[in-house]
Amino acid sequence: MSKIFTTPSGFAGSTLVQVLRHSLRLVILLGIIGTGLVAHYRVFVTKEKINVIRAEVNPTLARRTALAMDDFFHSGDDQRGIEQKHLSDIRGNTWSADIYGFSVTDPLAGAESVASSRHITRSLLIGLILPVIATLLLGRFFCSWICPAGFLFDIADHLRSLLQKLGMPTRQLHLWRGNKYVLLIVGLILSAIIGIPILGAFYPPAVLGREISHLSASFFSVLSDYPVVTGISFSGFFIIGIILVETFISPRLWCRYVCPGGGLYSLLGATRLVRVRNDLKQCTSCTECVQVCPMGLNPMKTESPGIECDQCMLCLNSCPPGSLTLDFGLPKLSKKNDD
């Protein structure tokens, strides 16, 4: 590898970096929730229900929320049309989003779209540019820095640690890491055969986006003219199921062994320019980095953790001799780690 720049491990793995990482995913999660709420609020404004609700003496929680959003988003009836236009310019979630005309599409969504339709559009290509370039540069960073489902799975990690401290039994089930690549290939082939996207039906970022939209509709259903199924849907129970399995049976089971999106990011970022590097001459094989790695990799085993490293940087700050650094330079393929 031709090293161009090295970031000191103390900075890259610092508490500040971890706070930024978690904060970014939390902001994205809150943004998806806000987008869902705004979408339904716009329906009420379009149907001119806001003024009717405002006249009520004791509005419900949903009605009070709609009024609060209305107060926040407009300064007068003459401005409402303009503000509604701005609100409508923000749509989607981490599966596919359009923000003021700028499209961003998850590579897995793009791959499924092409496979099922056997056609690629200009708009799809534009939406894939930023995620693909970022992955070629940073590797599987989406999983630890962007994915809102990963934020929830982090919470499951902390819950698991708490249960262990309380003496409650938890299992450590290991599966074959190749499962996600097999699932990715099979899913794309089936999508091409039947002409329907399949993987998005159980890909956590997409599932979470749909569930948030469903819950937003449930919350505001009392204001709608059409019946809405309230409560948690199957998608919601799917996410809850993953969290329970990862808490009691296998930490990060989905991300490590199953996620087809993670598999695609790993493949796209195999020759990434930014990666964790281990100076084997300084490494003391203390295993501190192994213990903190959410993906269950072994950073001290080789010069690089491999293609499944999600660039969370937790290992850097845990390394007593400082042998782990974040390097930027010409890529060199490294061996994939196994459990």
**pLDDT of res. 135:** 96
Residue where the block lists tokens 């070629």: 136
CATH architecture for segment(s) 3-12+274-329: 2-Layer Sandwich (3.30)
Which 3 state secondary structure label does DSSP give 104?
Answer: strand
Question: Quick one: average pLDDT of 280-292?
Answer: 90
- Please give the structure tokens belonging to residue 6: 């090295």
Position 336 confidence tier, pLDDT thresholds 50, 70, 90: very low
Residue where the block lists tokens 């491990």: 9
**pLDDT of res. 337:** 47
Q: Is the confidence at residue 335, as pLDDT, over 70?
A: no
Which 3 state secondary structure label does DSSP give 45?
Answer: helix
Q: What is the dihedral of CA 278, 134, 195, 191, to 10 degrees?
A: 10
Question: Quick one: average pLDDT of 128-134?
Answer: 95
Question: Quick one: average pLDDT of 208-220?
Answer: 83
Position 330 confidence tier, pLDDT thresholds 50, 70, 90: low
Position 83 confidence tier, pLDDT thresholds 50, 70, 90: low
- For the residues of 225-276, what is the DSSP string, one character each? SS----S--HHHHHHHHHHHHHHHT-TTHIIIII-HHHHHHHHHTTT-SEEE
Q: How much of the chain, in percent, has pLDDT values that exceed 90?
A: 50
Higher-confidence residue: 112 or 6?
Answer: 112
151-181 pLDDT per residue, tens = 999 999 999 999 999 999 899 999 999 999 9
269-285 pLDDT per residue, tens = 999 999 998 988 899 98
Distance of alpha carbon 305 from alpha carbon 266, whole angstroms? 12
**pLDDT of res. 47:** 63
Beta-carbon count within 10 A of 202 CB: 17
Question: Quick one: average pLDDT of 108-131?
Answer: 94
217-270 pLDDT per residue, tens = 777 765 555 555 556 778 889 999 999 999 999 999 999 999 999 999 999 999
Distance of alpha carbon 318 from alpha carbon 27, whole angstroms? 26
302-320 pLDDT per residue, tens = 888 889 999 999 998 888 8
Residue extent(s) of CATH 3.30.70.20 domains in the chain: 3-12+274-329
185-202 pLDDT per residue, tens = 999 999 999 999 999 999
pTM for the full predicted model: 0.86
Which 3 state secondary structure label does DSSP give 92?
Answer: strand
**pLDDT of res. 71:** 77
**pLDDT of res. 1:** 47
